[in-house]
Structure 1
Amino acid sequence: MKMSSLKSWYSALAVISLTGWCTADLARKPLDRPNILLFLADDMGYGDLESYGHPSQESGPIDQMAREGMKFSRWYSPDVLCSPSRGAMLTGRLPVRVGLYGPARVFEMSTSYGLPKSETTIAEMLKEQGYHTGMVGKWHQGINEFSHNDGNHLPHHHGFDFVGHLLPFTNHWMCDETKTYIDAPDRYYCLLYYNDTIIQQPLSHRNLTQRLVEDATSFIFDHQDDPFFFYFSFPQVHTDMFSSPTFSGSSKRGNWRIWNVYKSLLFC
């Protein structure tokens, strides 16, 4: 493996780093092979967190991780769109190097291509080092290749041993259940998988976050004695479609309203 690619991976881990905070009570002491949790959120800016300088954002567990662990500040998204930026993060290579460039660089439901299997992902690299690997949430790196259900581009073909609840496409605004943006969710775009099997169509937001958290905590518990890598890809994207009663109205800065920005750009 080229050293430049390896350095890119280390840079890509800028959004994480768990060596002690989450694993303090686990049986294994992570020394030479620390456990890794990688969190990814769409439309989240560098300055949106209190620990990175936001003057009014409430402090939370992520900020606690920053205080007790290590902060990074030199990893930049290589693209403004989902598929190429995620592909770059997973491989440590620029989108143009892995074929994710041009007008059609976002994987759609109907496309038959995805993240090239010839590329080595961070999950595959860590598996070679004895890590257990898992993920939940948004994928958006391709779904099917030769038929409507072969799943040849799903995460388990890219080094992930465990794949819990998965949004293989994305949490599209056409999945809105509140009738704010659309009368009813579009079944074509709104899929929820477990590993490589559809379990909801259209997906329901009601307990989606809880399912992802339960998958993650179960994976961590099952592998507490071994080094693990877990990729938690948040499904909350672009549009404020749902919030659970537990968290609804709890932010002093109000709802996430990026869709209104999109509308103003579309019609200005």
Structure 2
Amino acid sequence: MSRRILVTGARRGIGAALAVALAEPGVTLLLHHLDAAGEADRVAGRCRDRGAEAEVLAADLADAAAVRDLAGRTGPVDVLVNNAAHASNVDLGELPLAEWQRTFAVNVTAPMLLAQALSPGMAERGWGRIVNITSATVRLGGPSGPSYVASKSALVGLTRSLARTLGPAGITVNAISPGAVRTEGEAELAGDRDVAAAHAGVVAAQAVPRGLVPEDLTATIRYVVSDGAAALTGQVLEVGGGLVLG
């Protein structure tokens, strides 16, 4: 059966790993990026190598009009993976309102708008999957800044609300919560902080004491969007090596 899958923030890191994991014959991957066409094209090539079709789409998810335009350009989709995020590490005392607003626009409003635009088509077909990528910081309260933690908490609430709303139409809505996964974006955001030292502390706190990579999430995403996961909805799946339990 053919599937059309939109993955936001698919140019590298977790988004790229999820997109490639979902690529197979009969699947069309719609790979969203912001100002990174070269990287997104390389991910598209990896998807095509696995037998899928792939298309690259640019949009600034902080702009509601651009989000609606993106939904229009994708056409009908069967699976929506809301992975793109604005990763804010600004401390409370220095947090501008504009930074707070942009973080919520990308991390919460854009997933809502995409679900609003794309779920009616899923409902017409009686099948759909929406997967929101949250963060273990929701459970831990940090170390990211307050706008990021609060936005990812709001995304969990959105996940549960959409699961209730869309379940009768055959659409499941779940969240995957990564732990401390090593990505390029994380290193760029760290600034003067020692990322390796921070990760060592996190790994020591995990039940599975090893560093995590984006590919640690791929088996989970494949299950969540499968026919076999039809009874799984409104859940937050922690994939963090046991950093948080229960």
Q: Report if TM-score (shorter chain) is over 0.5.
A: no
Q: TM-score range by the shorter chain?
A: 0.3 to 0.5
TM-score, length basis structure 1: 0.37
Higher strand share: 2
Larger Rg: 1
TM-score, length basis structure 2: 0.39
Higher helix share: 2
